[in-house]
Amino acid sequence: MQSRIKKSSRYKVASFFAGIGGIDLGFENAGIETVYQCEIDKYCLNILNHHWPNIKRESDIKEVLENDNIPKAQIWSAGFPCQDVSLASARPRAGLRGERTGLFYEFAELLSRHLPRTILLENVPGLLNSHEGRDFAIVLQTLADIGYGVGWRVLNSRYFGVPQSRQRVYIVGCYNDPRRTSEILFEPECGTRHLEKSGRSGTKAVSPFMECAEDPGRNGRSKRVKKDDPIVPKLAFCLAATSGRHTGTDWSRTYIPYKSRVRRLTPEECERLQGFPTGWTIPDGLFASGDDIDGLRYKALGNAVSVPVAEWIGERIIRSLTVTQLD
């Protein structure tokens, strides 16, 4: 398979809780080579194997702890499970005591053994207030005790080139170098990605996610919006990790209304909303069929990290590591 890396590949990443490779693809777009992946979901493993067929891959982080045969990498990433801290859960949040989000501790144990220079963790904003903030404090304290200077920031995918409002908390740790964390996550001044562009004349905002369609009319001039003009989405809601089936309201947040019709987003549209190439989540071989494939694709994409956000962070990690080596 031809490499997707566009720039230098002097830096390498070991990816934990890799999902369908959102962080990995974003990092590779920035110039970081993926050398290791750990992911337990069988469908996601199929997708990872399709796009990275020649790298070391393991499934259960608990077994990784026992074998501990991880290739050397300056950077580690971990989109560790969010189910036990997510506000979308219908059950009480177990937080770090939960079976899935609690796998953070296994990751931390591996960190303490290998001490990569830079780490990136990603999770839902619910991590910040789980158990009144105590879980987030434990995450930060655990990383600090290992020796990492830690910084965090909530980033929204909508400011990185995809029309989806998707907030996630990104935690960066730099071993024995707290100064680099701020250089990676924060700019000296606000950039254009944090600002909304001024609306064009003739459009009327219905909500942050919807606006009236604009008719350019003759000579390219916009017509005045009328009361009954169609409303179309300007920005997608945050993609949820659901099957997207036509039952109840489980896909009601991922829809496109136009005139008198409403339809669900297609898996291909969800891929684009996350910054993946079209067809990224189509599995190899006879893994599933019909609606089963679509359900798996919707769920995996809802759990994924937006590629452009990972690419932006990856570029800044490379810059910080390069500057540090020159100092």
CATH of the domain at 103: 3.40.50.150
pLDDT at 200: 41
Give dist(CA 236, CA 80) in Å, integer.
Answer: 24
| Mean pLDDT, range 2-20, rounded to an integer | 78
Same domain flag for 126 and 252: no
Give dist(CA 26, CA 271) in Å, integer.
Answer: 14
Same domain flag for 282 and 148: no
pLDDT tier for residue 247 given thresholds of 50, 70 and 90: very low
Give dist(CA 282, CA 272) in Å, integer.
Answer: 14
Question: Which residue among 38, 82, 174, 270 is the active-site one?
Answer: 82
- Global model pTM greater than 0.75: yes
pLDDT at 140: 97
Same domain flag for 39 and 155: yes
Same domain flag for 177 and 320: yes
Same domain flag for 237 and 170: no
Same domain flag for 180 and 280: no
Same domain flag for 152 and 216: no
* CB of 135 closer than 8 Å to CB of 127: yes
Same domain flag for 71 and 117: yes
Number of domains in the chain: 2
Give dist(CA 11, CA 102) in Å, integer.
Answer: 29
pLDDT at 240: 82
Residue 298 lies in a domain: no
Q: Give percent of the chain with pLDDT exceeding 70.
A: 75
Tell me the average pLDDT of the chain. 84
Same domain flag for 232 and 171: no
Residue 40 lies in a domain: yes
The closest alpha carbon to 29, from 259, 318, 327, belongs to 318
Same domain flag for 100 and 78: yes
Residue 42 lies in a domain: yes
Q: What is the residue range of 317's domain?
A: 11-191+303-326
Residue 200 lies in a domain: no
**What angle do helix axes 134-146 and 104-114 make, rounded to 10 degrees?**
10
The closest alpha carbon to 54, from 2, 7, 16, belongs to 2
The closest alpha carbon to 231, from 201, 196, 207, belongs to 207
Output helix, strand, coil percentages for the chain, rounded to the nearest 5: 35, 20, 45
Residue 198 lies in a domain: no
Residue 173 lies in a domain: yes
pLDDT at 210 over 60: no
Termini Cα distance of the chain: 37
Parallel, antiparallel, or unpaired for β 32-38 and 56-58? parallel
pLDDT at 63 over 80: yes
* Chain centroid to CA 50: 19
Same domain flag for 167 and 250: no
174 annotated active-site: no
Residue 100 lies in a domain: yes
pLDDT at 248: 47
pLDDT at 206 over 50: no
* CB of 57 closer than 8 Å to CB of 48: yes
